[in-house]
Amino acid sequence: MFAVLVLVARAGPGSSLNCLLLLGAAFAITAFSDSLYVYLAQVGDYSTGSYIDIGWLAGYNLVTLSALLCIGPGPHPDPWPKDEEQPASFWQSVAIYAAVLPLGAVLLSETQHFLTVSALGVAALMFFRQLITIHENVALNRELAGLTAALELKVKEQRLRLLGSSAPDSSDTQ
């Protein structure tokens, strides 16, 4: 729900506020159904096919309707100009994983079991794979930006060349 509130608050003039409000309603209905399920499960009164299942169905359908509304006909300008976008640095993308290292150290210090070490090894391999993926994506995005700039320059040159060749010669008019 907080994410939807942030999206609605940051919605630019070109974004579709109706899509975000519909998405917020979908999440609210789903959250209400989840809360009701937890309560009914605690008191032992929940059964499959109960009336709260309608809330989940309605929430998921509202998510779908929100997506269909957003991709519907009509122009959707970008809420932020492309000049203001700053790509995240490699270390900004990796900073979220900083919490994994202390957790791994705590788990290793408490037990020396093979299963724990194996699980941490797999988690470390997944972490390093993600680092490599992020690094490659940053490099590919930089290469793509360079190729896009080169293509735009070629298009401008070609346009100028075509405009120059279509201009009437001064010798033809005399």
pLDDT digits (tens, 9 = 90+) for 65-78: 888 877 766 555 55
**CB neighbour list of residue 11: distance below 8 Å, 6 or more residues apart:** 17, 20, 79
Tally of CA atoms within 13 A in the half-sphere of 13 that contains its CB = 1
pLDDT recorded at residue 71: 77
* Calpha distance 43→33 (Å, rounded): 15
Say if CB 118 and CB 108 are below 8 A apart: no
pLDDT recorded at residue 157: 92
What would the pLDDT profile of 156-173 be if each residue is shown by its tens digit? 999 989 888 876 655 555
pLDDT recorded at residue 65: 85
pLDDT recorded at residue 153: 93
DSSP 92-125: HHHGGGGGHHHHHHHHHHH---HHHHHHHHHHHH
Say if CB 18 and CB 69 are below 8 A apart: yes
Tokens of 88: 């995240």
Regions in the chain scoring below 50 on pLDDT: none
Range 155-163 contact pairs with CB under 8 angstroms and sequence separation of 24 or more = none
What would the pLDDT profile of 45-55 be if each residue is shown by its tens digit? 888 877 888 88
pLDDT recorded at residue 84: 54
